[in-house]
Amino acid sequence: MKTNKEIATLFSNGKFKEVADNLAGDIEWNIYENDMSLKGKEAVLEFCKKIAEYFESVTTKFEMSGIVEENSKVSIYGYAEFIKEGKTVSKVNSCDVYEFDDSSKIKNIFSYCNTCKPIE
């Protein structure tokens, strides 16, 4: 069985299929930069599918800066650069906070990102 830290790390790294069974049915994902809130496992997985498609269209350089774990919460913060056809299309500093229920299923995700698009 995966630990909460392992589940959060896989999700943050875009390994959505590997942790789909670790999402609570009533999960809520708040993505503050996009002023978006997804409710329910089906909505979250549908959005994850779109993210995975985007990840396939770019080269991603992800640097995990750190992980903080306390009780049923895990926070992962880092930096990502997205490159397409040799050009940086965006850079993101992010922090994802995961809250787990008693069954090690992700109940809530709070995503905080600061995106800096390159000047053209």
Task: Give me the CATH code for the 4-116 domain, please.
Answer: 3.10.450.50
Q: Which two tokens stand for residue 44?
A: 């979250």
CA-wise closest residue to 109 among 21, 35, 36, 27: 27
Q: Look at residue 9 and tell me whether its pLDDT is greater than 60.
A: yes
Query: How much is the pTM?
Result: 0.90
Q: Which two tokens stand for residue 39?
A: 């409710």
- Over residues 47-101, the pLDDT tens digits come to 999 999 998 999 989 899 999 999 999 999 999 999 999 998 889 999 999 999 9
Q: Which two tokens stand for residue 51?
A: 């993210």
- Over residues 22-46, the pLDDT tens digits come to 999 999 999 999 999 999 999 999 9
Q: Which two tokens stand for residue 50?
A: 């779109």
Q: How far apart are CA 52 and CA 16, in angstroms?
A: 8
